[in-house]
Structures are given as C-alpha cells and as structure tokens.
A and B are shown apart, each in its own frame.
Chain A
Amino acid sequence: MSNQRQASSASQVPHLSPAELSYLYSSLSLPKTPIRPDGRSPTQFRPLTAETNILPGTNGSARIGFADGTQAIVGVKAEVEKTVLANETLARNDGGAGLDRGEQEGSAAVGGHGSWVQMSIEIPGFRDDDALPVFLSEMMRESLVGAVGTREASDMAGGLKERLVINKRWHWRLYIDVLLLSQPLAYPLPLLSLTTHLALLSTKLPKRKSQGEEDPFFDDDWAVAEYLYPRPSLSSGKTNSTGSSFVRPPVTLLVISVGENIIFDPNREEIAVADAVLAISITRDSEAGTLKLLSIRTVDPPSRLTQPGVPNSENVSMLGAVAPTEDVAVLNPATGEEEVPGVWRPRRGGVKRSVIAEMVKTALKKGGVGEEVLEGLEGVEVS
C-alpha cells in the first residue's frame, strides 16, 4: 500500500468510472462556457469560513474551512536562535586571510537564510515522509522565502528572510505547522496555502528591547508585540485604502486546464479529469501595485492514472450490436490524441507552452483571479 501511495504521490487516484470521467470532461471542456459540477464559474472559489488567532500558545494561527467540510489549522511559532556562520566564512576568518573579512561578515548579516523557515504538513492517512506532504511543504516554503520586497525603505525590503534577522549573531527561527483536519477530499494545496497566509498575517513577534549587537532581550508585554508582516501606520493606511502598501505573504493557486478552458480552485472531481495541473504562487508587488509571479510547479494530474473506457466497437459483449461507423475516433484539438467521443482515455503527454502562458496570465492580470483572492484575504479581519 505504501508503494501505491508513493506512486500516486502528488495526487490521489479518483474513484470514478470511465463513463463518469468522460461526462465530467465533456461538460468541463465545453468551449468558453464550462459547466462545473457545483455550478461555479471557472474563476470562482469555493465559499470558505476563516478565523485567526485561535491558538493561544502560538505566535500566530488561523483556521479555514471550506464548505465541503475540509478544514485546516495552521500555527506559527517563533524561536530565537544563534546564527551559525557558514563553515567557509568561519574558516576564512580564522585563517587570517583578513582581506575580505569585512565584506564576508557584512554579507552574512544582510540576508537571512531560507532554512530559518521550517514547515511541516500533517495530512491524515499520510506519513510525514510521504511524497505528498513533502512536495506541498517544499512548494509553499519556496515561495514564502523567495518573496523579496521591492521598496528599499520598508522593513520588508529583503522579504521574510530578512525580517527574521535580529542582529549579526541572532535570528528568529519560524516553525509553520499545518494540520489538515479532514480527509484530503480534493488536492489540499489551495486550502493549506490560504490558511498559512492568514496565520502568517496574524503572527506577532515580541518587541525587542535590546539594541544593535547586544544579546536579544524582549519586552514581556504581549500587547506591544509587533506583527511579523508589519502593518502600515494608521495615517498612511487611510490614504492607501486598498492595503497594498505593505508586504503580504504569497498565496499559491491551483489551476487546471480542461480542453481549452482554464479553471481555478478545482474540486476533487474536476481535478480528476484535468489535462494539466499547475500550482502558481503569486504575491502583490508593493511597488507597482500589480501581481508578481513567484513560482510555478506542475502537479501530476491524476487523470493519467485513471482507467480507460472501452468503445462499443471494441467491446466483445457488444459485438455486432453497433455499426462500425457509429463511433469513430476524432482528433481532440486540446490533447492532439485520437479519441472516440464519450469514451474516456487517460491523459497522456504534457502541456503546451501557450496553455501555461494563458494560465499564468489569467492568474496575474489586473482584476483577475489573483487579485480577487488577495482582496478577499485582505478583507478577513486579523485581530
């Protein structure tokens, strides 16, 4: 069984018959107007409920529940840790070749390190070293530490990594623990990503009392603690009402293509018939006010693992009942494969470059899905 699970790594084998798959595929691939099983528009997300700061023992936490019953809780914990200089840097500074010592120390202190953010995902039914949790956590961590702010003046110019630096010798280590409470009905990426986003927004670090290179010492009044992702001051918040003036953590969207249609936030049935599945991480570009792409990863579409349907002309029990002309294979323009209409074939091959470009464009464009999601998340009151 563990072998099986490893193989179906990123995705789960759907329990749908070839006839059901074919029905789903043909309704989702209707040109321009896909019909989704739950009646949403192609870019519409599932309704969700969200709350933040639910766990008193953490620095920040959030819970999101989708209407289909899947729920996730994220807790963020921060810990002060001594910065270990890289082996090479130490060796060189000890070695007395002091030519570039200043430069070395400077550069070691400026940037944080990606490994200071640690992420673990727990999904019921999966071991923590199974491929799916590992893949998901790497995907989310990569965009999180990769997001670099653009404005030099702000605190977050270097992104999250830089925010974790206390001084040259000390830094914060961030543990992000993601817990999926329900069975993973659909591919859980959008749920986990949105919950992590909210939890990070509500994360507070205690206010520092020490200065400069002193050993860190913090104010024990939790009321004056500072947000990990700093808020704009009240005066500037009024002038800039959209909230785009401060850096926010990235979100990862799940996008599928079916035929010529591009569909966001697929549920379990929709992802089972997808031609291609992409995970796209985006964030707000604080300078231009537009959206910025952080990472793209392909996800193995579960449709490759499905069972094929048998056309009547090849079915022995239907022998002679069908005229051979009745089901003729036609070329599916989206996949370039010969297919009998109404008979399911597992997907083969990859995705065209034009489709990828279109998917990214839909996610990033002004007034598109990405903005809608980020605006929705900004609407959640973070206490």
Chain B
Amino acid sequence: MMADRRRINGPPGGTRPAVFASNLQSGTSATDRAQRQRQPSELRKIFLKTGLIPTASGSSYLEFEPSASLAAARANPKSLIPPSSALKLACTVHGPKPLPRSAAFSPNLVLTTHIKYAPFAARQRKGHIRDASERDLGVHLETALRGAIIAERWPKSGLDITITILEAEDDRWWGSAPDSHDASWGMMNVLAGCITAASAAIADAHIDCLDLVAGGVAALVSDDSASTSTVAPKLMLDTDPAEHRSILSACVVAYMPARDEITELWLKGDSSKASLEDGDDRTGHEALIDGAVDAARGAHAVLAEAVRESLLKTVGQA
C-alpha cells in the first residue's frame, strides 16, 4: 500500500461540525434534496478565464455556475452542509520545453497530464498522492488533447499540463446512501471541465491545435423515486449528479466542432432503456453521444470567447 509518510495527514473522513438537535426539526426531508431547475437541454453557465498564472506559459481557470438550490441554501441557510457543489479548477501549461537529456528521442511533442484533487475538493478528503481515479482521469485527458495538438511541430519537446481541482462535483446527493446505481458520475463532469480548461490553457500558451476541443456531458436519468423500472429514463445535458435520484448511464466527449470529430469518448452504464421522442430511431448510446456533443458545442462557445479575450490581451500588451 502506498501510504503518505512524509506529512502529518488529517483524518481521512474529515471532521464534521457539531449539529444540534434544535436545528434538525425539519430533518433532512426530500425537499432539501437539490432539484434540477434547468430544462433538459439547458447547460450551466461556465466562467472561463485564461492567463491567471503568470509563471506558466499558459493557464486557465474554470468554474461552473452553482446550482439554483445552492444559491437558495446560501441565501436562506437551513443546514451547515451545502446541498450541491460546483466544479472549480485551475489548469497550467508548462512548455513546449526541451526534453531532459536522459529521455529517448521523440519526433513529436511529448504530452504529460497531471490531474490532482485538492485535499479539500470533495466531501471525502483526498490524499496528497494521486489515487487511481486521478491517474485514470489523467489518461482520459491526455487522449482528448493528443488528438487536437499538432504534435509533429515540436520534435524533442515536452508539454506538461497540470490541473488542480479546487472543488469537485458530487457523485450523488450527499444525503442519499450509495445504492445500486452508484458510480463515480461526478468524475465525468470533472473530466469535461478539465478538457475545456486545458484547451483554453493550451491556446493561451500559443500551441498549434487543429481546433479548440471542448468537453461535454450527457446522462440518462430517472428521477421518479417510486419505481425506476416503470418510468423510462430521460436524456439530460450537463447533469449535476447531486440533482438526480439515479443516473443510469452517462457519457463524456471531447469534441472538435470544426472537424465534427470526437477525440475522447467515455460512456458507461446501461443506455438501452432510453425514452426518446417518437420518430427518433437512434439507439440509447447514440442519443447519449449526440447529447454530449451538443453540450460540448455549448462549452465551445464559451471557450472561443475566452480564447479571443486572451488574444486581445496579448495584442494589447505588445
């Protein structure tokens, strides 16, 4: 086992503030559960800004709009525990820089991706050493970006992309127990955010790409608590897992609109029971992929605007 012996770590589960019975008269009833206020195809607003870290050759900061329930809970606090969380992450790009002398020759740009959750990013504390899920995310991000970067223009060079996640998405509503549909759904939203942010940072570092690659998420959710089996799940874009009772399957894509191509696809869960509109003869997974692509198109609009801003800033400085 890899134990972190160099630091004095806090308790792995975190500590919780004292909650007095008098505050609990309402309990945690179903009304406290976060509810999706958006239309099925409506995306959350994205805040994206480049060039915030001056020492890096490119950087970006991305934030998703907090859900309506979180805003309501902040305005009128009932509980100390926030009902949902919104993604916040910072991305830095270092390079292109020469590879170390000891490295083997490479005719292409060597891409290295690091994704790390800050210890305080999720409700469960993360350690200082990257765990399996963080490494897995790193591989996904690398696949997404390598397809977009024109790597043969930088032989013998390396590019390091480091992402720190300051606040992660929840995998489910904090109050519900893990059930048969539990999986790390929040990771997929995190990956989509990472792709969009990394793409902005790469553009900020002036590295040639085929297109700005944007990430998008779509999911099949069934919200009716009574019986999940009778009601067919619906397709929703940009799902916040805290707002849904059960997510049956989800898909994240990295998409380049100019070429209509997908550089990274990650789909999991049972997509066979999707209820689509009449006359729609797509299969469940095709509808999911198309939905995720639509979400990515939305993110691409924000991305293009952020990159334009960064360019205007550089031109202004020169």
Residues of A within 8 A of B (CB): 1, 3-4, 6-7, 9-10, 85-89, 91-92, 95-97, 99-100, 104, 107-108, 110-114, 129, 131, 134-135, 137-138, 142-143, 145-146, 148, 158-159, 161-162, 278, 285, 292-300, 304-308, 336, 346, 348-353, 356-357, 360
Interchain CB contact under 8 A, A304 and B178: no
Interface assignment of B183: CB less than 8 Å from any CB of chain A: yes
A305 touches B2 (CB 8 A): no
Chain B residues positioned under 8 Å from A110 (CB to CB): 179-180
List residues of chain B with CB within 8 A of the CB of A307: 107
B177 touches A146 (CB 8 A): no
- Of B28, B268, B269, the most chain A CB neighbours within 10 A belong to B268
The tally of CB-CB contacts under 8 A between chains A and B is 188
Contacts of A3 in B (CB 8 A): 99-100, 103, 110, 112, 158
Query: A349 and B259: CB pair below 8 A?
Result: yes
Chain A contacts for B179, CB-based, 8 A: 107, 110-111
How far apart sit A162 and B24, CA to CA, in the bound complex (Å)? 33
Interface centre among B29, B147, B269 (most CB of A within 10 A): B147
Is the CB–CB distance between A308 and B210 below 8 Å? no
* Interface core residue of B140, B177, B255 (most chain A CB under 10 Å): B177
Residues of A within 8 A of B178 (CB): 86, 108, 111, 113
What per-residue 1/0 map shows which CB atoms of B127-140 lie under 8 Å from chain A?
A: 00000110110111
B175 within 8 A of A: yes
Stretch at the interface among B56-64, B286-294, B301-309: B286-294
Given contacts A304-B146, A348-B150, A360-B285, contact A134 B266 (CB under 8 A): no
- Contact indicator B112/A298 (Cβ below 8 Å): no
Q: Do residues B147 and A88 form an inter-chain contact, with CB atoms below 8 A? A: no
Q: Are A346 and B108 in contact (CB under 8 A)?
A: yes
Residues in chain A near residue B290, CB distance under 8 A? 353
Find out whether the CB atom of A6 lies under 8 angstroms from the CB atom of B268.
no
* Interface contact A88-B174, CB-CB below 8 Å: yes
B143: interface (CB < 8 Å): yes
Give the Cβ gap from B170 to chain A, nearest Cβ, in Å: 12
Residue count of chain B within 8 Å CB distance of chain A? 69
Asked whether A350 lies within 8 Å of B104 as measured between CB atoms, the reply is no
Complex contact A295–B182 (CB within 8 A):
no
Known: A293-B267, A304-B108, A350-B256. 8 other contacts (CB 8 A): A85-B177, A88-B175, A91-B16, A100-B27, A146-B268, A146-B269, A285-B272, A295-B269
- Contact (Cβ within 8 A) B132 A138: yes
Nearest residue (CB) in A for B147 is A350
Name B residues whose Cβ lies closer than 8 Å to a Cβ of A. 2, 13, 16, 19, 21, 24, 27-29, 99-100, 102-104, 106-108, 110-112, 132-133, 135-136, 138-140, 142-143, 146-148, 150-152, 158, 174-183, 210, 254-256, 259-272, 285-286, 289-290, 293
Residues A349 and B139 in contact in the complex (CB < 8 Å), given A148-B180, A356-B265: no
Chain B nearest CB: distance from A351 CB in Å?
Answer: 6
Among A100, A137, A297, chain B packs the most CB atoms within 10 A around the CB of A297
* Shortest distance from the beta carbon of B35 to any chain A beta carbon, whole Å: 18
Contacts of A86 in B (CB 8 A): 177-178
| Contact assessment for A99 and B29 in the assembled complex, using a CB-CB cutoff below 8 Å | yes
Write the chain B residue with the least CB distance to A87. Answer: B13
CA distance A97 to B259 in the complex (A): 55
Q: Is the CB of A111 within 8 A of B272?
A: no
Cα-based distance from A142 to B269 in the complex (angstroms)? 9
16 CB < 8 A contacts A-B? A1-B102, A4-B106, A9-B139, A86-B178, A99-B27, A104-B177, A137-B132, A142-B268, A146-B268, A295-B269, A296-B265, A304-B108, A349-B263, A350-B147, A350-B259, A356-B262
Taking the closest CB of chain B, its distance from the CB of A16, in whole angstroms, is 13
B106 contacts across to A, CB distance below 8 A: 4, 305
Measured between alpha carbons, how far is A137 from B135 in the docked complex, in Å?
Answer: 11
**Chain A hits for B24, CB < 8 A:** 95-97
Q: For B148, list chain A residues within 8 Å (CB).
A: 349-350
A298 touches B143 (CB 8 A): yes
What chain A residues lie within 8 Å of B268 (beta carbons)?
Answer: 142-143, 146, 294-296
Q: Which of A1, A350, A352 contacts B103 (CB 8 A)?
A: A1
A294 to B266, CA, bound (A): 11
Nearest Cβ in chain A — how far from B117, in angstroms? 15
- Set A108, A113, A142, A357: member contacting B286, Cβ < 8 A: A357
